[in-house]
Amino acid sequence: MRARNTKSHRLELSLIAALVLVASLTPTATAAPSWRQYVVGPTSRDVHPVRVLSATGDVTNPDGLLGAGVTTLRRPGPPARAAWPSGTTASASSSHAPNNGNDGRPRTYDAANAIDGSTDTFWNDDTLAAYPDVLTLTTPSAVTESGITMQFNADGVPQDFTVQDADGATLATVTGNTRLQLAVRFEQPATTTRFRITITRDQSTGKGEFTRVNEVWPGLVADPVAPSVVVDFGKVVVGYPKLAFAGASANHPGLRLAFSESTQYLGDRSDFTRSDFAGGPGTDQHAVPTGASTWTDTAGCLADGKVCADGLHGFRYVKITLDALPGDAPDAQPSGEVGISGVSLDFTGFIGDYTGWFESSDTQLNQYWYDAAYTNELVIDTFRPTDIEPRGADSPTLDGKLVLHDGAKRDRDPYVGDIAVSGRTTYLTHDAAVAARNVLADLADHQRADGWIPPASINGYTLPLFDYPLWWVTASWDYVLYTGDTGYGAQYYARVAKLLDGWYPSVTDSRGLLSRPAGYGDYAFLPRDGEVTYYNALYVQALKDAAQLAKSLGHNADVTRWQQRAAAVSAAVNATAWDGSAYVDAAGTSRHGQDGNGIAIVAGVADAGRATTALNYLAAHTALPYGNSFMDDNTLVPDGSQRVYAFTSYPEIEARFLAGQANSAIDEIKRLYGWMAGHDPGHTDWEGIGAGGSLYEGAYTSAAHGWSTGVLPALTNDLLGATPTSPGFATWTVAPHPGSVSWARGQLPTPHGPLSVSWQQGNGSITLTVTAPPGTKGTVQLAGRTFTVGGGSHTLTVR
């Protein structure tokens, strides 16, 4: 008894001595917290560009777009087009049958439309994605031309084609065209009675891969340069663009807006818009009225179906051009004069106080935490039919509710795999947990009769993903764990049981392992079936999380059954997938996946020895300048060893912290998140990274994606070390993994009040202060020692 008191007295003295040290880490009450310097998001919904990136053509005072006067764009009308000689005919390899067209008006698609002098009509071939498509123009007598000029329909732009004369000699070859109007110069002037245009590739659109030629003119038509200005908002933003106009000429001049998250894909067409799914033009159109006006980009068209726009966009750059689509005449014209007095954005992302925060001695890590928070703020938004995934994703049960979308610019549909990461990010930063709850509950409400739960509302809740129902379980437990909403857990507990005891047993093989059936995909639609390590490791995690939920609700029999099944699946994974270096991606393969290995460690499938070995293997075989690749070779997909997903990197980073490899976790964070922060568009976290550090799916890639924000929970839960262990932080643990970081501090929001943690290490000791809400209790694990504490402030030093 005396010895215990002496030990307690020594600890108490060291705690008192540490108070002075910790006080130096605490900001003064009057000063703004130092962590606020890293915050990225706006404080107002009225967001403005920060600079003019470029201007081309007849543009006066480009800075007027920033509010410094008026920017004027001028473009004279197009020159007269030459006409083909009377009696010229057009024929084609095929022509689509007449119909009522997209606008309901009767239309024909004959070859003659390409020379009728009207840009509103066009030739449309009748062989979907089959080539060649041939258009032949025949003049009654020989003509001499130095070239021809072609205008295309936005829904079917020929990319590769040749032009030949009557003798079959090639006059011009075009490859990679994306322009709607193209002057095709011949290698030398040609005298002939026939021009044969052979198309071998068209731009694929959602309206079918057809060749569509509106008009072919003799000669080279050089239209006046379309004036344009590019403005930069400084980072990816999301919302409704707004333009203020000082006035315009009386001919209804048109503006076309093209959006991009990066300069690499900034051009005459947006890097991706939702209308692209329906074969749209890739730009938003507006016809400017004569007087002063303000236009907010809104999804829809004019009453006659012309001059259409997408509305909401996620972008950093916008290119504003005085131009109009041929089919928008006469409502909008590609010439005239427009005065613009300002550009802004009605920001739709989340704006609110930070209820949780993080700061450390490493300024890079700090910025990555707040970059992730901002990325997530971009996807916390209201579910609106006009702004979400257009492929059957609208749902009356979600309309008008706050949700967590997957990305800022593209799909904008809440996917549960994304929420497994972005949900944690939300709980640790803002009072917006309802955004996750709304989605999780809605997906559960659409559970299939056999127990399967849809991944998202897309395709009427039918997209067949194999792994996402497991993410629904883990995300549901996370929601209850962080918020304390056991009412949600009780309401949907039967759905958990139906999924884990119904559907997944139906796809379990004789070894007790999940085996993906044909017809199902996963988070990356990867071509792998059978006993995949990632699926089974995630199954173990879901079973353990379900057991935790069952325990919190008093379903003890389910606790035992699910824990036993998790142990059995773990044993089967270790028996079939471990090859001595790491877990193979799937039975019968020799490749090793980041997803399976990372989750196997975090879920406890791997013991300490296997964890260390697997992490060492991944470090040696997958490290790239921009993160760790998700596969160690290219046998699954051609770029497997070059593709990086922050989504699958998060479990690996977490595993490194938990396995005592904090410095390697920090190194991976800095390579991955440092690359994204240091490359255009900056600040936001990308959906995926490809070879050489590129956006992995080119212009289609989302550069602000919620599933890539795992650095934030990794730094709070693992480096700072604070996590809940029962619903609503009734119990919690603080177990720092400092690595090379000298000090860290932060706050986690809980239903009982904030949980604050700060620690500092140096000279062979570490001092930690935790201030816990009343009525809660937790354990502090510090340098191999464990302490139990309750509510209030506690300071511990271990040497």
Cβ(719)–Cβ(362) below 8 Å: no
Burial 713-742 (b: 16+ CB within 10 A, else e): bbbbbbbbbbbbebbbbbebebbbbbbebe
Q: What is the pLDDT of residue 105?
A: 76
Cβ(713)–Cβ(417) below 8 Å: no
Could you read off the pLDDT of 583-597 as tens digits, one per residue? 999 999 999 999 999
> Residues in the chain with pLDDT < 50?
1-29
Greatest CA separation for the chain: 118
Could you read off the pLDDT of 239-294 as tens digits, one per residue? 999 999 999 999 999 999 999 999 999 999 999 988 887 778 899 999 999 999 99
Cβ(429)–Cβ(376) below 8 Å: yes
Residue 771, token pair as written in the block: 């201030």
Cβ(253)–Cβ(333) below 8 Å: yes
How many alpha carbons lie under 13 Å from residue 740 in its C-beta half-sphere? 10
Q: What is the pLDDT of residue 30?
A: 52
Cβ(364)–Cβ(38) below 8 Å: no
* Separation CA 133–CA 113 (nearest Å): 16
Element (H, E) at 293: strand 293-296
- For residue 573, which of 548, 545, 546, 541 has the smallest C-alpha distance? 541
Q: What is the pLDDT of residue 223?
A: 83
Question: For 544, phi and psi rounded to 5 degrees?
Answer: -70, -40
Q: What is the pLDDT of residue 239?
A: 98
Residue type for 244, please? A
Q: Which residues contact 451 (CB under 8 A, 6 or more apart)?
A: 498, 499, 501, 502, 503, 504, 506
Q: What is the pLDDT of residue 406?
A: 97
Could you read off the pLDDT of 76-121 as tens digits, one per residue? 998 888 999 999 999 999 999 999 876 667 999 999 999 999 988 9
DSSP 343-360: EEEEE-S-----SSEEEE
Residue 677, token pair as written in the block: 């922060």
Residue type for 224, please? P
* Separation CA 409–CA 258 (nearest Å): 13
DSSP 411-425: -----HHHHHHHHHH
Cβ(724)–Cβ(750) below 8 Å: yes
* Separation CA 73–CA 322 (nearest Å): 7
* pTM beyond 0.75, yes or no: yes
* Separation CA 118–CA 375 (nearest Å): 47
Residue 222, token pair as written in the block: 């050089």
Cβ(790)–Cβ(9) below 8 Å: no
Q: What is the pLDDT of residue 208?
A: 76
Residue type for 52, please? V
Q: What is the pLDDT of residue 31?
A: 74
Could you read off the pLDDT of 697-734 as tens digits, one per residue? 999 999 999 999 999 999 999 999 999 999 999 999 99
Residue 374, token pair as written in the block: 């901002």
